[in-house]
Amino acid sequence: MTTGINFWDGSIWTFVTTLTILLIAMLAAAMLRRAFPFIRKLMIPSSVLGGFLILFIGFLYNKLTGHHLFDRSLLETLTYHGLGLGFAAMSLRNLDQYNQEYKGDSFRTSLSVVSSYLIQGVAALLITIVLSYVMNSFFASGLLLPMGYGQGPGQAYNWGRNFENTYGFVDGTSFGLTVAAMGFIASSVGGIIYLNRLRRKGIVRSSEEYVEEAITPEQLFGKDEIPMADSIDKFTVQLALVFGTYTLAYLVMRGVNAIIETGVLGNFGTNTLQPLIWGFNFLFATLFGILVKNVFRALQRKGIIKQAYTNTFMQNRIAGFMFDVMVVASIAAINLSAFTHAEFVVPLLTICLVGAVLTYLYLDVFCRRVYPGYRHEAFLSLYGMLTGTASTGVILLREVDPRFDTPAANNLVYQQGWSILFGAPMLLLMGVAPRSMGRAWMTIGIMALMFIVLNFIAFAKRKEKKKK
């Protein structure tokens, strides 16, 4: 008598077939970009375009067959873990040191990043509070704008899911994912508008293709690194480090969760701390990635291990793959049926449009005052990142700085630590505002005050630098 699973059962192949469709969609999108110049000029990443292709095909499939093309929970799982694994890979990279001037600029970049989160959050939350009185929509849904625009699909999913399960926001998961998808469109449209302004002034010329990244032997065979192929492949080692780091983060999160479930922290533990812990999987992954990297460095300095195990080039490729899968899965997971409800569509479109315009205007002013030597490069990189992801920021930056001669590209990397520090209070407020209308108004006041303080610091630091 046969027991257990059969290899011909559909459940055995669900993960493989889903991942295959996601990857093929990205390949198809890349081919469309190559074949049609007007698509390429829109500067939409292949993962984003592939996500929309799957969303459209899935909609047709559902209408024709009455069944869903994907297991939505699997898509959401890929989105969630793609974020954490991608950040684990990024934190394991061995980044080169940078000079003091770049260091100061990266600090100011973190201020502009968090300030953009804040201005998006204040405006969007104010809009959704007003709309909640008019059409009975969820009053705190505006806080998903900085998560979708500023943080990307992973955080938009985390908090949309949290709002849906904890605070009763119907279709909150799809709302967050749609905000992130709209962010990629906003990034493309805003970037094209800005680039056309520069072209009319003769500042930049049209660029049809990006400059290819030259791979050097040093990238693959770093100094004192383990060999490319030994008893274990070098890429396998990189994957083991990423998944091992992420598992360490999970174990700590699970440990904190066990304490919460004892009830010792009361409602604060279950209603506030628990969603925050699991929503910050990317932050725990980052912290443990840094820890693992420093432990290996210490062991190497003491001579306990003779070779370096991490390779920056391969970790970049792993992070890129994880983020591509995260983006395409997040867009494919959007529930289009939610768009039949006005209380879903009207707040969504309003905050996305207002958020894009405000981000554009704010960064235009900020970059003009803080980065006079490379204001255009700084604007395009920041606007692309703060409406899409870091990759869209790099895509826009390459149009005016193809070889990364300015500090703009470095700023995107080195601002992360400061951004986590300055952005932590706002992330904590994400669990406060949805509890009541009064706390939502309080959140607006706190975020507005934070915005003023951070910009005062940024502009004061700039004046101090000018004097020096």
Q: How far is residue 177's CA from residue 161's CA, in Å, rounded to a whole number?
A: 10
Q: 220, 313 in Cβ contact below 8 A?
A: yes
pTM: 0.78
pLDDT at residue 215 is higher than 70: no
Residue 5 lies in a domain: no
- 299-310 pLDDT tens trace: 988 888 888 888
Residue 1 lies in a domain: no
| Cβ neighbours of residue 306 closer than 8 Å, sequence gap 6 or more | 224, 300
* Lowest mean pLDDT, pick from 92-96, 126-130, 153-157, 423-427: 92-96
Residue 2 lies in a domain: no
Among candidate residues 72, 20, 48, the one with its CA nearest the CA of residue 387:
48
* Lowest mean pLDDT, pick from 38-52, 201-215, 277-291, 401-415: 201-215
Residue 55 structural domain: 11-467
Q: 229: which strand partners?
A: 233
Structure token digits, residue 292: 């693992």
Residue 4 lies in a domain: no
Q: 355, 191 in Cβ contact below 8 A?
A: no
pLDDT of residue 413: 67
In the structure, what pLDDT confidence band is assigned to residue 203 with cuts at 50, 70 and 90? Answer: confident
* Number of domains, the chain: 1
